[in-house]
A and B are shown apart, each in its own frame.
Chain A
């Protein structure tokens, strides 16, 4: 297969951890990798990995739209162009999320029929497959028809990524009753209640779900606007971090600390975002994996693995079919 283009310059730990992850991914994720970035910065790190040269780096806090337009020789833009031009099968970046989305959208283009791409983030569920939350931050303001497309695309992703045959789709709200929620939620609920809405994607609409349902096995795909989705995502991350910290503090003072920590490690691994391979930008005409800003080498290995799996599953073609006008 074509190599996976890894943005070597993006992320809090770039380029060191990113390049190490890319090198490990060749054997651990079974995928060829090409780095994208500044040759001088990568000279002593990249070993025998191929390089697509890019002289610029878009900062983590740069304005997404204008930076992509003005920094055409940035690693992010060049990575997206590599996919567009058939030099790479997919792209992976732990850099500026908004700029990653803008690069992918402007260079790869949208799948025909998709109104807006959405970020699909796996939320770990202990003892079960992760729940796919989308949109996790690409579109702060949404229209009901967009959320229907997010549901269709999220269902395809859940099936191809986690093997969920008939994904259960929930609409994030403040109560299970269809009468509850914002105007956006109520209008979207009415559209998703039409059995035809999710027919092609083979999913089933559960109705409204609440924030407490996201980390349960009751739902496979949770759909919401990008503002709410990002708030929900960050709340869960912060909550889990606080919980882990408080459990460690409490155990540290007890004589059973070592034993208890050993028993908790598998659970901790389940909740560790580095193990989940990042989010996927659904709706652009190519595979784009967005890894979190603080990605370690292990996170990059898993992101490359997900990219390879999504390319091999033909997920873009399946998304195209799921959102095609009927």
Chain B
């Protein structure tokens, strides 16, 4: 349940971060979560456009903002986030 992530304050591990990103991406891109892999490129494999990545960034900021106050994905960093793995690494480094 997404709501539990707001309540649960224990540190998120890599798998939890990946699951969160995959869950939000599947909503945004209207694809099955199982079709999203950590090595996928946002543009080449998932065909996500720039607005979809901004949707993802906003969703993650909303979800993670309560866990890590002030959590934000900088716009200039978005350009360097090419794969799902990049996004997982970015989030883990800032939680």
Contacts and interface: CB of A to CB of B under 8 A. Distances in A.
Determine the main DSSP class of B at the interface with A. helix
Nearest to B29: A115
Interface size class of B (residues with CB under 8 A): 10 to 19
B30 A114 contact: yes
Given A105-B55, A106-B54, A66 B49 contact: no
A141 interface: yes
Contacts of B55: 105-106
B95 to A, nearest CB: 20
B51 A105 contact: yes
B66 interface: no
Given A113-B30, A139-B49, A143-B47, A102 B54 contact: yes
A152 to B, nearest CB: 14
Interface string B27-55: 00110000000000000000101110011
Contact of A141 (B30, B49, B75): B49
Determine the main DSSP class of A at the interface with B. helix
Contact of B75 (A70, A102, A105, A143): A70
Given A114-B30, A115-B29, A69 B49 contact: no
Contacts of A141: 49
Contacts of A106: 54-55, 58
Nearest to A65: B54
Nearest to B28: A110
Nearest to A140: B49
A249 B75 CA distance: 51
A65 B51 contact: yes
Contacts of B75: 65-66, 69-70
B24 to A, nearest CB: 12
Contacts of A113: 30
B88 interface: no
Nearest to A117: B51
A69 B30 contact: no
B57 A102 contact: no
A306 to B, nearest CB: 24
A190 B54 CA distance: 32
A69 B47 contact: no
Contacts of A64: 51
Contact of A65 (B29, B47, B50): B50
Question: Which of A105, A113, A141 lies at the interface centre, i.e. has the most chain B CB atoms within 10 A of its CB?
Answer: A105
Interface in A219-272: none
Interface string A56-83: 0000000011101110000000000000
A87 B51 CA distance: 26
B33 to A, nearest CB: 15
Nearest to B30: A115
B57 A69 contact: yes
Nearest to A107: B58
Given A113-B30, A115-B29, A69 B51 contact: no
Contacts of B51: 64-65, 101-102, 105
Contacts of B54: 65-66, 68-69, 102, 106
Pairs A-B, 6 closest by C-beta atoms: A65-B54, A115-B30, A66-B75, A106-B58, A65-B50, A65-B51
12 contacts: A65-B50, A65-B51, A65-B75, A66-B75, A69-B54, A69-B75, A70-B75, A101-B51, A106-B55, A139-B49, A141-B49, A143-B47
Interface of A: 64-66, 68-70, 101-102, 105-106, 113-115, 139, 141, 143
Given A65-B51, A68-B54, A102-B54, 12 more contacts: A64-B51, A65-B54, A65-B75, A66-B54, A66-B75, A69-B57, A69-B75, A106-B54, A106-B55, A113-B30, A115-B29, A141-B49
